[in-house]
Structure 1
């Protein structure tokens, strides 16, 4: 329950008029201090007054006062700076290493507050706040959704900056990885990313004038080519031979073919056609990042990703299996996903990297203009009363689900905070 105690302390959810230490001295909180998320005392730089004498230092919290020794704080000089020990049960006094007793405050909460907290963080439901959503004002929800959308973009941006450092500032290489990942459309995103990171773009650019060699690179490195499979399929045999040469030339090791998932996928969403489309982008020179940055509007961005496959892939979903002929293009909803998961993060990350607010604003405007994603997370939040009208909002509820609801971090969620802060608090 230490996290709950930290929450109560941080947000001052207690009666300030009746504070006394365990030895009867009058206590006044001047500054609660700053929550510490690393090792060391729970709050840094607090300021308190005890019987009129002002103390500045740190605050440590425990369920029971005896936890101080159990955690070996009495042997750690870092805890000599503690000026107040806040506990729920004061079962023993605690001392600094020099023998000085540290003032102790008993901080307890009402049974109703504890019950509300335990209900919120219950592992039986990831959204136990759902019945109370309607009680919150629209401003609370809209502000939180806006913050969550930015939080998600910033998280994705940080990941792209990590890749940028790894690839020595090459934005096209980073673009290649993030676009590849987006082509996995969720279920195969990790496999597409693994493939892209195992096959540098610069290798394929050396052979970009040959579409068949680029295809051989991708299908072979994906682990989808094997000698002797698909007898009688000339296209497949050519790719096998091409990849054998390229694999030896560049010292490549393909990823495990078991990385790819097919269960419950419609044939049109099998990774093979997505890989063929990725090959088209690379065959065209793969200057996607520069084109994305130069695009003036959403329609121009969409045109970048409108690729139509011809030949073999108009009659195949898999190698060696003929299907009725049909045109093969990325549909509008598929392009939406690429724009949401690749283009917007790229624009935002680049804007943050070079200090270009126009780029970051373009990323936000793009998400606001796109239709919301259709998935179980978005539907669930819509059902409990959180309106989702565009991709900015659908990204926000995905962030809320993944980073707060699923991890039961209700204390750090504005919805949970609003609901909890209304509960009556008191000191025991």
Structure 2
């Protein structure tokens, strides 16, 4: 058993209240359970209780064993002096506040129905990747839909929070934050770390000064990535000359080439090609403003579909000419960038500005986009659920990451419904 079970029991008051009393025999009446606290301090704040003849307002702390109070050193922490009730599974020892006064204790181990505990343990000990797999068919579809919607919003807030952190770490510059997010997205999965290192090593103000010159943009990106040091051919030498000048002008230090991965990749996805595509995209000013103002899926996709320079239309690497002509990024890759770059930026700006319309725009984009299933979403599809859009995929990812994988069933509406169904059957 984990404390989350007792949090759930207290929050929903799923225990026998007959002759409810503290461990020292004082009659106890719960007038208000309090609000669950996700920050430091007691578990439930602003509770309201009657113990004996006295009404108490304060906090409720929850532990498996009363002795956990000492193990967590609460007896020395003034934040816990406001605790008016210690809810435990087993009251093995008395506990005191910092001033030496006794904390009233409610012991639950003989007040919770064992069938409810068995249901909880079945979820916790499940061998399935989705802990509630065996219960899933019996959960109403509306419960699943609402939980997935909640998981989607939480995922967008998380991804937006990452962008907002970048924004603050780079001097509150939205264009710089968007540049970093864009480069991170351009790495897709295999080269994401390398693109992040590139974003950190190449100041956006340098890129901004040269964004109207495609040759200089390519020189900056390919040179800073470490691809020009031993590149051969006339075009490569031209880029080398540009980069040598720009490197000394801005005191740049290129990345070692070993950061980049070419293995198990189609040539069209080589990092050299991605950098050429990125250079073409960066010619357009105000990328961040365009993200905020675009009003259709097609316009968002077009932000990432700029045509590459003639050299990269016929090359995947320096000195190796291709038989096929590639003008730019494919639509599936552009959709991926809308999902992983544009949507998080919109979510971040919604958080920053307090204007929910940007979050609604992000969700609407995801609902209109298709996204391939992945190994996580397929886990839910095996249970009969079907993803119809990128919004569904992102919701499933959020549900798996924050609830199913850590077996956080007591914070999940689906897990709550399963517990309630079994409670109702008692």
State the distance in 2 between where 1:116 and 1:320 align: 64
- In structure 1, the partner of 2:274 is 274
- In structure 1, the partner of 2:13 is 12
Which range moved further: 241-250 or 35-44? Answer: 35-44
Identify if the C-alpha distance between structure 1 residues 156 and 95 changes in structure 2 by more than 3 Å, giving closer, same or farther: closer
- In structure 1, the partner of 2:346 is 347
Aligned length: 421
- In structure 1, the partner of 2:104 is 103
- In structure 1, the partner of 2:308 is 309
- In structure 2, the partner of 1:298 is 297
Q: Report the TM-score when normalising by structure 1.
A: 0.89
Alpha-carbon displacement from aligned partner over 1:54-81 (angstroms, at most 9, x marks no partner)? 2222222222223333433334343333
**Per-residue deviation, 1:310:** 4.3
State the distance in 2 between where 1:66 and 1:289 align: 53
Which range moved further: 43-52 or 329-338? Answer: 43-52
- In structure 2, the partner of 1:139 is 142
State the distance in 2 between where 1:359 and 1:91 align: 52
Alpha-carbon contact 2:65-2:90 (below 8 Å) kept: yes
Alpha-carbon contact 2:276-2:309 (below 8 Å) kept: no
Pick from 147, 151, 158 the counterpart of residue 148 of structure 1.
Answer: 151
Secondary structure of the residue aligned to 1:268 is: helix
State the distance in 1 between where 2:281 and 2:114 align: 61
Pick from 148, 167, 170 the counterpart of residue 164 of structure 1.
Answer: 167
Alpha-carbon contact 2:366-2:390 (below 8 Å) kept: yes
Secondary structure of the residue aligned to 1:54 is: strand
Identify if the C-alpha distance between structure 1 residues 88 and 304 changes in structure 2 by more than 3 Å, giving closer, same or farther: closer
Alpha-carbon contact 1:126-1:408 (below 8 Å) kept: no
State the distance in 2 between where 1:364 and 1:171 align: 21
State the distance in 1 between where 2:397 and 2:272 align: 28
Identify if the C-alpha distance between structure 1 residues 310 and 126 changes in structure 2 by more than 3 Å, giving closer, same or farther: same
Alpha-carbon contact 2:31-2:48 (below 8 Å) kept: yes
Pick from 228, 231, 244 the counterpart of residue 225 of structure 1.
Answer: 228
**Per-residue deviation, 1:97:** 4.3
Identify if the C-alpha distance between structure 1 residues 187 and 410 changes in structure 2 by more than 3 Å, giving closer, same or farther: farther
State the distance in 2 between where 1:300 and 1:97 align: 61
- In structure 1, the partner of 2:206 is 203
Q: Report the TM-score when normalising by structure 2.
A: 0.89
Secondary structure of the residue aligned to 1:131 is: coil
Secondary structure of the residue aligned to 1:309 is: coil
Alpha-carbon displacement from aligned partner over 1:318-352 (angstroms, at most 9, x marks no partner)? 33434323223222211111111222233343344
- In structure 1, the partner of 2:82 is 81
Which range moved further: 114-123 or 142-151? Answer: 114-123
State the distance in 2 between where 1:3 and 1:358 align: 34
Identify if the C-alpha distance between structure 1 residues 251 and 121 changes in structure 2 by more than 3 Å, giving closer, same or farther: farther
State the distance in 2 between where 1:224 and 1:124 align: 47
Alpha-carbon displacement from aligned partner over 1:372-419 (angstroms, at most 9, x marks no partner)? 343222222222223211111111111112222233322222222222
State the distance in 2 between where 1:355 and 1:33 align: 27
Which range moved further: 79-88 or 210-219? Answer: 79-88
- In structure 1, the partner of 2:219 is 216
